[in-house]
Structure 1
């Protein structure tokens, strides 16, 4: 195939990266505003999403600098220094790229544990799958940077030809990266299917159930992106034209990470939609946050007040009241209720105590 200097994938790379990264940054900023300002309920999943967004921005920034140097063009049209710098920056960018689609999986797991309150088995399953995927991804980074001895031979390929360095077979990295991508796709698919099975069994309108399933099921799209990315990994084996052959891999890595981040943010954007449609006002969220803070204080002092009232005056004894401990909040339930933006469910018992007027017997003794 004839190559020309006009064959440049750099503008395409920048168009895809900045368009998707810009949209994702806007959505993440909206999520941070909702969780931090409106609901005042910033959790671990929000911190993980913020970290993954930082990784995505770093990936986009490094790749942009790489395109300016000449990445995306055929290697034969780059100087030796520019070629080595381009390969170095591309290798570093994969560090941020892998983390940018790994951290959101942990964030989704934390979010599902917060809003669905799954059983112990499903809690373990969620954290095991996402944790295992994270470990495998970190190992992939280690494999990448230990392919050559010394590691600088990854971008200074002349060291291998001079005999000053040794490198492993590139297909070791490719095969492991394919395994990492396949595992990532499976985890994304599980995170999309699991909440759907829970939501479909809830007692609410079909329209609401379908809307929630669609919002939480967007991870299935990320699963498809991961599979497509796996088909582009063979470009790593093209050492003769590395800067041109790996361009598609760079784009699909960014696409996968952005789709995962957006999918994890969509379920948290409901308050924005309610404000736009006029279903709720901005003040209602502030009042809800204040009630949550007050409820924490009241719950911490309610036992003390109840003990004091028992000491000050005797209370009538009420017998034959059935125990309903199952609806009382435990410490674990309190944690989840406080974390839920819609508040809590409370049980109120109204007790009426009636007294008869006191009269006196004919002999002068009091009677009731």
Structure 2
């Protein structure tokens, strides 16, 4: 029978690093292969590229950089409970956590812009659709930029984000301000995910082709709605952003 004294020991050994590394690099590798094949087809077969190609490349570059930061984060015990880490480990992992966030945001932002550019390139010129996408993307870029700026200016000096004890005379704004801004930016991106899934379906449905093919293509394109679902889950999780008591394992 396992004694109750072993419970704290088990909790102290909890480490999500393998899960983080596997999930991160599987999707990163998939993205790299997908974009590499895309560029191969565009440059070797079609012999031309457009804005959407280079933007998706930038998105993958940001994602890869983020994955590298997360790998360093995991190797430095960043996936264990904060209470089990030495002070130096906690400072290092918290700093890496903050560094990864703008990389994540830039990757998501450029990816959505790339998809929108692809739609604009393939569509039959439609003013309302163009205005809709450009307007939504402008709002998204503005909100994400504000979120990143606020993220790193919420504390003065900035090192208070990962080492509050080093600056006893420093100050920070209320954490719920940053949390609300992050939720707003995420809500905007979630709505754009939904729009980017629905607009192509609307385009395909207007084409002159067999109805069965239309339905099949529309079902395939509408899988982008899953991104909307994941974004909603993220928004719910962001409600806990103001609580940084266990930032390394939350």
- The number of equivalent residue pairs is 243
Q: Which residue of 2 aligns with 1:79?
A: 86
Shift of 1:210: 2.6
Structure 2 matches for 1:209-358, cutoff 5 A? 209-245=214-250
Structure-2 residue corresponding to 1:188: 193
Label 1:234 to 1:73 Cα distance change in 2 as closer, same or farther (>3 A).
Answer: farther
| 8 A Cα contact 1:106 1:127, kept in partner | no
Inter-partner Cα distance in structure 1 for 2:244 and 2:128: 46
Alpha-carbon distance in structure 1 between the residues aligned to 2:211 and 2:196: 21
Determine if contact 2:191/2:228 at 8 Å carries over to the other structure: yes
Shift of 1:235: 4.0
1:53 alignment partner, one of 43, 50, 60: 60
For 2:122, the equivalent position in structure 1 comes to 115
Quote the residue 2:3 is aligned against: none
SS at match of 2:249: helix
Q: Could you say which residue in structure 1 is the equivalent of 2:135?
A: 128
Mapped partners of 2:205, 2:48: distance in 1? 26
Q: CA deviation at 1:127?
A: 1.1
Separation of aligned partners in 2, 1:73 and 1:159 = 23
- Residue of structure 2 equivalent to 1:12: 19
Shift of 1:39: 1.1
- Please report how far the alpha carbon of residue 98 of structure 1 lies from its aligned counterpart in structure 2 after TM superposition: 0.5
Matched with 2:170 is: 165
> Aligned pair 1:152/2:152, yes or no?
no
Query: For the residues of structure 1 that align with 2:95 and 2:48, how far apart are their CA atoms?
Result: 41
| Partners of 2:13 and 2:112 in 1: CA distance | 39
Q: Deviation string for 1:80-129 (max 9, x for gaps)? A: 11111101111010010001111111111111111112312221111111
* Offset of residue 188 of structure 1: 0.9
Q: Distance in 1 between matches of 2:188 and 2:152?
A: 21
Contact map agreement 1:21 1:56 (CA 8 A) in 2: yes
Distance 1:238 1:20 in 2: 28
SS at the partner of 1:71? Answer: coil
Name the one with the larger helix percent.
2
1:140 alignment partner, one of 126, 142, 147: 147
State the partner residue of 1:353. none
1:99 and 2:106 matched: yes
Counterparts of 2:215 and 2:41, CA distance in 1: 23
Q: Any idea what SS the aligned residue of 1:57 has?
A: helix
Contact (CA 8 Å) 1:106, 1:131: kept in 2 or not? Answer: no
- For structure 2, which runs of at least 5 residues remain unmatched after alignment? 1-6
SS in 2 for 1:238: coil
Identify unmatched segments of 5+ residues in structure 1.
Answer: 246-368
1:89 is aligned, of 96, 104, 109, to 96
With normalisation by structure 2, the TM-score equals 0.92
**Compared CA separation, residues 110 and 181, structure 1 to 2 (3 A):** same
Q: Which one has a bigger Cα radius of gyration?
A: 1
For residue 133 of structure 1, report the CA deviation from its aligned partner.
Answer: 0.8
Q: Is the 8 A contact 2:183 2:239 kept in 1?
A: no
Is 2:73 the counterpart of 1:66?
yes
